[in-house]
Homo-oligomer: A and B are copies of this chain.
Amino acid sequence: MKAIIQTDPADPRSLHWQETHIPTPREGEVLIQVAAAGLNRADTLQAQGHYPPPKGVSEVLGLEAAGVIVDPNGCVRPDGMPYREGDEVGALLSGGAYAEYTIVPAGQLTPVPDGFGLQETASVIEAACTIWSNLMMTAHLREGDTLLIHGGGGGIGIFATQLAHALGVRVAVTAGSPEKLDVCRRYGADVLINYHEEDFVKVVKELGGADVILDIIGAKYLEGNVSALAPDGHLVIIGMQGGVKGELNIGKLLAKRGNISATGLRYRDREDKARIVAETVENVWPMLEDGRICHHVDRVFPIQDAAEGHRALLDGEITGKAIFEVAR
């Protein structure tokens, strides 16, 4: 088969479509022929050497894919029926999506949502599992809560806004332009904060504080996020675009009985991932199918152009979600 191979570990642009071995599924794993692989910011970090795959996982890039099962390897679906050759599936991966074939632990396979193609399926898995696991399984977001989302105009932000809105949550978002905020508003955001013009802490405090904050900024916003939390609030950090080390005012956190979690999907064990995928499919797939969450692919690159896709993402040229198409 062919896969994207990074020929120079020191050069994140050295991504080439080259011949390599087809991986062999072990017990509990399925082999799929990839039709589409999602492009994530984490892939660019990995190419830069900052986000290595877990032990035992393919060095090939790519955290989500969709395709067709070529070797079910005896695995069974959650309903107890066996997977069959030719089944179309989505897959949450720890690596290996940028390839013609990849192996997937059976618990990380998803159905294709009704009305979705394989490209849309590949594009939705990482975001859906990240958001469901963080907002619901970690922070226990509830109807009537106030949720603050940083980077409301990004792919994660738009998805999280729709999910929370559908659950009866009041959504406040930050973004850097009136255009982006207008997009947020259309997807259901209730409170729009242009961070160039307003202090999000002040705005959110006037709302009574945020019960949950979904943060991709990290250090730069740590102090403000703790200030913006409501009593018993939960700050969930899933990205560090604003740096790694920040000052934590424990006194302020203690005064409001605040919680901080920093999480990611990739290094979780299989059991954990299977639980997250199962809950996400159960709860989020119906929202994708009936349109409560509107999700589409904004940009398609041939997989051979992986380097160009990374460049475009890093240069801010991609609005929404991009995927790589893997032609048969």
> Chain A: residues with CB nearer than 8 A to chain B?
218-219, 222, 231, 237-238, 240, 243-251, 253-255, 257-264, 267-268
Cα(A253)–Cα(B218), bound, Å: 11
* 3 A-B pairs with least C-beta separation: A254-B262, A244-B251, A248-B248
Contact of A245 among B218, B248, B258, B268 (CB under 8 A): B248
Cα(A255)–Cα(B264), bound, Å: 8
Q: Is B250 within 8 A of A262, CB to CB?
A: yes
Q: Which residues of B contact A218 (CB under 8 A)?
A: 250-251
Cα(A30)–Cα(B245), bound, Å: 49
Q: Is A254 within 8 A of B237, CB to CB?
A: yes
Contact of A247 among B248, B260, B263 (CB under 8 A): B248
State the majority secondary structure of interface residues on A. mixed
This chain: copies in complex = 2
Known: A248-B222, A250-B218, A251-B240. A262 touches B268 (CB 8 A): no
Q: Which residues of B contact A255 (CB under 8 A)?
A: 267
- Measured between C-beta atoms, what is the minimum distance from A256 to chain B in Å? 8
- Measured between C-beta atoms, what is the minimum distance from A231 to chain B in Å? 8
Which of A243, A262, A267 has most chain B Cβ within 10 Å? A262
Q: Which residues of B contact A258 (CB under 8 A)?
A: 261-262
Q: Is B244 within 8 A of A249, CB to CB?
A: yes
Cα(A253)–Cα(B261), bound, Å: 8
Contact of A219 among B250, B261, B268 (CB under 8 A): B250
Other than the given A245-B247, A245-B251, 17 more pairs (CB < 8 A) read: A218-B250, A222-B250, A237-B250, A238-B254, A240-B250, A240-B251, A240-B254, A245-B249, A247-B248, A248-B248, A253-B260, A254-B263, A257-B262, A257-B263, A257-B268, A259-B260, A260-B260
